[in-house]
Amino acid sequence: MNDNKKIDSIYFFLLERAVRRFKKFSHREMSKRGFDISGDQWIILRRAYEQPGISQKEIANSTYKDPASVTRMIDLLEKRGLLERQDHGNDRRSHCIFLTTNGLEFVKNILPMASEMQEFGLRNVSENDKQTFVKVLNEIYNNLE
């Protein structure tokens, strides 16, 4: 195996390693600050904050999560009083997802910390490198379609 193949074969490993480390870091930081929530649950809350009334299907599609997993997480967040489902017009099988008052307050409390954690993870990375990183990840994503 030539050196280029060895290097190419570890790109995705390095990406996965970085993502796992960030997930552990963010979970630890949220726990330290009294926020009992997983990263995946946070993504759903954030999506409901950004797009009030979004459907479960749209959440699953836009977060690249399995619809059944999204349903379970929404169930859990609904039990905690952070989200609520409302009927989606004429389609009784579909629901719109909204943050409750408690959910909105919860998200607003976490947002600054989420930004802080992302900045911490990207410290010492130049703006040019960040732009290149986004470009490369989008190219990889599009290549794999």
| pLDDT tens string 93-120 | 678 999 999 999 999 999 999 999 999 9
Predicted pLDDT at 128: 97
The sheet carrying 91-99 orders its strands as 54-55, 91-99, 83-88
Helix (H, G, I), strand (E, B) or coil at 96: strand
What pLDDT is attached to residue 55? 92
pLDDT digits (tens, 9 = 90+) for 45-69: 999 999 999 999 999 999 989 999 9
Domain count, the chain: 1
Q: Give which of 74, 85, 78, 83 is closest to 105, Cα–Cα.
A: 83
Instruction: Record the pTM.
Output: 0.81
Question: Domain residues for 113?
Answer: 3-143
Q: Kindly indicate the confidence band of residue 9, based on its pLDDT and cuts at 50, 70 and 90.
A: low
In three-state form (DSSP H/G/I as H, E/B as E, the rest C), the secondary structure along 37-70 is CCHHHHHHHHHHHHCCCEEHHHHHHHHCCCHHHH
- CATH number of the domain bearing residue 58: 1.10.10.10
